[in-house]
Amino acid sequence: MASYEDKYPKAAHTLSKDREQLMAFYSFPAAHWKHIRSTNVIESVFATVRLRTYKTKGMGTATATRTMAFKLIREAEQRWKRITKWQQLELVEAGRAFKDGLL
């Protein structure tokens, strides 16, 4: 970190200040890392809803819009992949400590 402080002082300060939050990623099982790193699942679902609401130029009532968004999200949910080693979620929930992805 010290080698970057001269060239990028603001970035180095931010990284050192928020280090604990940035490294929280490593306190989860290593098998879950690929799921934690990606926000694509969330973004793709809302992109579908946004595209559909734009193309239909508004569905009329707010209730109709919410209903359509709900149905689109439920449809997208069927294509989601299960979290790798999902059984380890029970260990995370129980408060078991993971260091660098290992129990």
**Which string of b and e fits 3-39 if b means at least 16 CB within 10 Å?**
eeeeeeeeebeeeeeeeeeeeeeeebbeebeeeeeee
Q: Which has more confidence, 3 or 38?
A: 3
Q: pLDDT tens, 42-95?
A: 787 788 888 887 777 766 788 888 888 888 888 888 877 777 777 788 888 888
Place of tokens 């999200």: 73
pLDDT at 59: 64
pLDDT at 29: 86
Q: Within 10 A of 46 (CB to CB), how many other CB atoms are there?
A: 13
pLDDT at 15: 86
pLDDT at 35: 75
87 token code pair? 């059984």
